[in-house]
Structure 1
Amino acid sequence: MPRGELKSEPIHETIVKLNARIESRFPGSGLGEVGQTLLNLAAVNDEVIAKARRPIWWLRVLIACGVLALLVTATWAAFQMIRIATGESPSIPDLLQGVDAAVNEIILLGLALVFMTSMETRFKRRQSLSILHRLRGLAHVVDMHQLTKDPEFSLRPDNSASETEKPPLDRFQLERYLDYCSEMLALTSKLAALHLTATQDPVVLSVINEIEALVTGLTRKIWQKIIILQ
């Protein structure tokens, strides 16, 4: 893989380090479980990308056979037309009927080839969209974890004692928690962006852009809270 291209290994290492930091600062927290889910999704994401890079050979062999059959049929039809034009055919109506059948076969084979040539793209697209939807869902889960973290509870702990069962995080802890959420969202976006190295499918690219826009919006909300804490 050329230098300057996004790679999965550094992303995996960063997720592992982030999970270790979360477990060290907030042992047994729900955010740590989300981090482990992100790590598992990263492994699945790599498998999907690897499959997207590999050609589906059995399908390509079928396409090659279809192209060969189409060429043979077209060649036969051309020879029949030549025989009609040169007057060598003893029965023109029979030959016209044969040519008509050949044209129909060519049309059917052509439609089948169009379907088969798009089948590989659609198959890989379905796999990519499946993992991308899971990454997008995880981004919303991270947002739910930061949604309940109100800076006011940390800035005024006396006011929050009656509203929460657990003692609120202090300013430093909450800032770290929100920072971890922000990092997790960024890593989620990077996992989605890895698909750019394997496909140029416009449908997949559109979903990647949607995830990046979603992560940007969610991260902006987190940093608004961090700024309040500072």
Structure 2
Amino acid sequence: MTPEEHLRDADPVLGRVMDQMVGPPPRLPPDPALAGDPDIPKDNYGVLVRAIVSQNISIHSSRAIFRKLKDRFGGRLPTPEELLADDPEQLRPAAGLSRAKTVSLRSLADCILAGRLDLDALNELPDDEVIGQLDVVKGIGVWTAQMFLMFHLHRPDVLPTGDLELRRSVERAYGLAARPTPAELTRLAEPWRPYRTLACLYLWQLAEQAPRL
């Protein structure tokens, strides 16, 4: 049974969502369409730097700032040592970073160098332990860690219950009176296991095709 077949059998409402998709269905990461994108880092460190840079801004702005950051270091990402050695008051305007993101990047570098974050170990850790490891970095919360799990480590059963767009889409698809709480979403999504990541991709795609509630 494919993941799509499992979701259809497990949840008829989600099955109807899948049938109503406009355009190609979402793919579980890694998406081959993004494989050659030079703006998408391939290593754990680069992905986390990009995740920090990208928080709460558009994709266009994220790419621009990420490139400025690399330009400051000769067209490549700075090492953790270089990030901490750079003057944050100069780095921030040069790369177009906010103060909070500058603090977060420096925290990431400090956690790596101090041994509080073992980037190489993340690939083998269970999902909850990856989230716990990343939570030591200022500015990397549960949601960012979950996106790291889904789109970089390609974990198939991640449910970001705090994602507002996902909760909006579930409210619409299931005819709920209000957006589900994280606890309610967890209960509703139980039948999707072990493919909650794919279910989320379908519901996010539904959100993109519909006006905001």
TM-score exceeds 0.5:
no
Relative to the length of structure 1, the TM-score reads 0.24
Q: Point out the structure with the larger helix share.
A: 1
Q: Of the two, which has the highest radius of gyration?
A: 1
